[in-house]
Amino acid sequence: MNFPLFLEKNPELAIRLSFIDFKLYYTGVLSRSDLIEEFNISEITASRIIAEYKTIRENNFHYNQSEKKFFINSNEFVPFLNISAEDALSMLAGGFDRNKIVKKKAFIKFEKIGVDTNPLCNEKVAIITRAIYQNLMVSCVYNSAAGRELFDRDLAPLVILYDGINWIFRANHLGASGDVKYKNFNFSRIISIIEKPNKVGR
């Protein structure tokens, strides 16, 4: 991770700013308590870190007074954190991992082998994970495994899954024919996706 020069000299601050960026992008929501619990810091320190992030990415978020939380400006968001979608999904499932932010030299040589799947798109993944976190709807064009047709689907994403090879999400497929309403979808098969502001069931 190549941080701006002033952050290279303050790696602790860089990690905390990266956490804010990660939390906003992949869940859409940030509160001071998120920072307090993650880094065991005071509310004053959390507020100072958020203010520091605002000086770097002012248009990335806004504060909702009624909910006392910060929300992503998805149309203006410019990520400060540069990680793969696979690493992001891993952290969403297992917790924020500083070692994925600051890449360190390996102790021994390592090569990843196995089935070569399509690289995941961060933006598409983030729209899905934000929908899961906030209980929102999405509309997406999805390429089925058969690959014969592309379908525009209204989905209510529920949970992320990993089968050892592919990252998948389960969703309620609204308008699906038949009795099966809950289906699994492969992140890599999403052609396009739009986030919808309405909550599931409203």
pLDDT digits (tens, 9 = 90+) for 8-65: 677 888 899 999 999 999 999 999 999 999 999 999 999 999 999 999 999 999 999 9
Smallest Cα–Cα separation from 72: which of 140, 22, 35?
A: 22
Residue 160, strand partner residues: 169
Amino acid at 50: I
pTM here is 0.87
Locate the domains of the chain by residue range: 5-101, 122-199
User: Who's near 143: CB < 8 A, 6+ residues apart?
Assistant: 150, 189, 190, 191
More confident: 148 or 57: 57
**Do 5-101 and 122-199 agree at the fold level?**
no
As given in the structure block, the two tokens for residue 41 are: 């810091």
Q: Which residues make Cβ contacts (< 8 Å) with residue 7, sequence separation at least 6?
A: 13, 14, 17
Question: Is residue 49 classed as helix, strand or coil in its secondary structure?
Answer: helix
The CATH number assigned to the domain with range 122-199 reads 2.30.30
Q: Tell me which CATH code domain 5-101 carries.
A: 1.10.10
Predicted local confidence at residue 14, as pLDDT: 87
**Among the listed residues 115, 117, 171, 165, the one whose alpha carbon sits nearest the alpha carbon of residue 142:** 171
